[in-house]
Amino acid sequence: MSATFTAEQASLLFTAQRLFIISQVVIFPLYYLPGLRDEKDARFPCSISWMTRKGSPRYATLLFWNLGWACMMLAYVQRALSSADPMFDWLKAIFTLQMYATGFVTVVLTPMKGPDVALGSTDALHCYAAMLYVADHVLANELILGVPLTSAYGAGFAVSSSLCGACQFLRAKDDLYAKRLYVRALARSQLLSYETFVYILESGFMLFENALFFIFLFGMTSGIQIQ
Phi, psi dihedral angles at 159 (to 5 degrees): -65, -45
* pLDDT value of residue 117: 57
pLDDT single digits (tens) 119-143: 656 778 888 899 899 999 999 999 9
Over 90: is that where the pLDDT of 163 sits? yes
What is the CB neighbour count within 10 angstroms for residue 109?
10
Specify the pLDDT at position 175: 83
The pLDDT value given to residue 121: 60
Please report, as a single letter, which amino acid is at residue 161.
S
- 208: containing domain: 3-226
For position 108, what pLDDT does the model report? Answer: 93
**3-class SS of residue 193:** coil
* pLDDT score of 124: 80
| DSSP structure string for 86-107 | HHHHHHHHHHHHHHHHHHHIII
Q: pLDDT over 90 for what percent of the chain?
A: 67
Number of domains in the chain: 1
